[in-house]
Amino acid sequence: MDLLNTLVDKGLRRELPTRDEALAVLATSDDDLLDVVAAAGKVRRHWFGRRVKLNYLVNLKSGLCPEDCSYCSQRLGSTAGILKYSWLKPGQASDAAAAGVAGGAKRVCLVASGRGPTDRDVDRVSETIKAIKDNNEGVEVCACLGLLSEGQAERLREAGADAYNHNLNTSEATYGEITTTHTYEDRVDTVQKAHAAGLSACSGLIAGMGESDEDLVDVVFSLRELDPDSVPVNFLIPFEGTPLGKEWNLTPQRCLRILAMTRFVCPDVEVRIAGGREVHLRTMQPLALHLANSIFLGDYLTSEGQAGKADLEMIADAGFEVEGTDQVTLPEHRAAGGCHDGGGVCGSEGGGACGSEPAPQAAAQDGPQTGEPRTDLVAVRRRGAGTDLAPNA
């Protein structure tokens, strides 16, 4: 396909595709799917080889969130039967992190529910970061605490945090349909605060909330413009007891197209398959490794994931290797900090702006394909952080 040859060439040059090209990837047929995966796989291997970075989530504080994000089992008014607990002590969090590191994780992601941290919360998380780094040589720590106030990103960086995660989740045009207690602009502001403080910014999306192809392209183009180092692609886990608990809009094939489109738009960025891969990709998970260079190991915040041992076997069987703590994840030009000049030449040839002016939208494509609900694959986490049971790592 001429489209795929063009996208591979652009990906190898870090050149932004047009919106029409990105939309065309999402509109490809199942007959062309393996060609799409192979093309995006060339871009992935060019920048990241066959390495897979493992990340491990530690839920520092679960449930009881005052925000109303429709997709979230921890939201205000959620009746999902998830674990609910207040802040883990630094030693507890460090022990949970150590299990993930022992399983091969290179990065530990510290997550806490809530609108955003108080200064006391930042102190608490700073102590936790120190405990984890003291006990796990070479591990990266990413914090995900919600909306940041002035100076908080700098304090986390001083405490030893390497990265900060705050997802855009969906397009600016539809953001108000999934959340009303904060705005899309609030989220953008927090990602920019992380950048400005010298933290590696991590920001991604959630697919499967009923969005259109145009919404998916919009949010990925917005992420390209924000220029995070890592882009987690979540697939909605429809929890009963949440407003989106009945949304089953994804098939494995659509998930692969979304990952491929993300790779073409963000060719030299760590693309991470995040929540929901077991629920929606299912037996197609190994194919997704040809598109993404990063996954979460084991369980998620409030839901169970694939067994950690199965994750490692999947990576090996697919011909990939786990990235070690002695290896640099990002390509040299990104790892050196050359792509964070606030709107400079990240990912485009000839001096074009990062996330330069989008081309006109293509005509609307058919809506998302609907998969059969697999409620049997949605399991609430009952082990690990916040429990007396061993974690899945």
Classify residue 85 as exposed, middle or buried by CB count within 10 Å of its CB (0-12, 13-18, 19+). middle
Question: Encoding tokens for residue 62?
Answer: 């679960």
Average pLDDT, the chain: 91
For residue range 25-54, list pLDDT tens digits in order.
999 999 999 999 999 999 999 999 999 999
Catalytic option among 51, 75, 109, 255: 109
Annotated catalytic residue 282: no
What proportion of the chain, given as a percentage, has pLDDT over 90?
Answer: 83
Catalytic residue among 75, 142, 266, 354: 142
Query: Whole-angstrom Cα distance, residue 80 to residue 66?
Result: 15
31-40, 74-83, 129-138, 272-281, range with the lowest pLDDT: 74-83
Asked about 115 being catalytic, the answer comes back as no
169 in Cβ contact with 203 (< 8 Å): no
Given a cut of 60, whether residue 354 has pLDDT beyond it is no
Cα–Cα distance, 4 to 322 (Å, whole number): 28
Structure confidence by residue, pLDDT tens digits, 91-112: 999 999 999 999 999 999 999 9
Q: Has residue 205 got a pLDDT over 70?
A: yes
Of 78-87, 186-195, 266-275, least confident by mean pLDDT is 78-87
Model pLDDT, residue 77: 87
What are the residues whose beta carbons fall under 8 Å from the beta carbon of 377, sequence distance 6 or more? 278, 279, 282
- Binding residues, as ranges, are 65, 69, 72, 109, 142, 202, 272
Token pair belonging to 37 = 């995966």
What pLDDT, on the 0 to 100 scale, is given for residue 370?
57
Question: Residue 102 CB: number of other CB atoms within 10 A?
Answer: 13
Q: Which fold has domain 17-325?
A: TIM Barrel (3.20.20)
pLDDT at 83: 87
**Binding-site residues from annotation for [2Fe-2S] cluster:** 109, 142, 202, 272
- What pTM did the predictor assign? 0.90
Say if CB 60 and CB 69 are below 8 A apart: no
What's the confidence (pLDDT) of residue 353?
32
Q: Is 109 noted as a catalytic residue in this protein?
A: yes
The residue from 14, 51, 65, 224 that is catalytic is: 65
> 72 an active-site residue?
yes
Residue 42's CB: how many other CB atoms inside 10 A?
16
Q: How deeply is 336 buried, as exposed, middle or buried, from its count of CB atoms within 10 A (0-12, 13-18, 19+)? A: exposed
* Binding-site residue ranges for [4Fe-4S] cluster: 65, 69, 72
Give the residue among 14, 112, 104 at the shortest CA–CA distance from 309. Answer: 104
The pLDDT value recorded for residue 393 is 86
pLDDT band, residue 356 (cuts 50/70/90): very low
Q: Is 354 labeled as catalytic in the residue annotation?
A: no
Q: Is the pLDDT of residue 342 over 90?
A: no
Which pLDDT band, with edges at 50, 70 and 90, does 344 fall under?
A: very low
Contact 58, 109 (CB under 8 A): yes
Q: Which of 19, 51, 202, 257 does the annotation list as catalytic?
A: 202
Annotated catalytic residue: which of 14, 19, 44, 72? 72
Determine the pLDDT at residue 337.
62
Amino acid at 204: G
Residue-wise pLDDT for 239-289, tens only, equals: 999 999 999 999 999 999 999 999 999 999 999 999 999 999 999 999 999
374 within 8 A of 38, measured Cβ to Cβ: no
Predicted local distance difference test score (pLDDT) of residue 287: 98
Widest CA span of the chain, in angstroms?
56
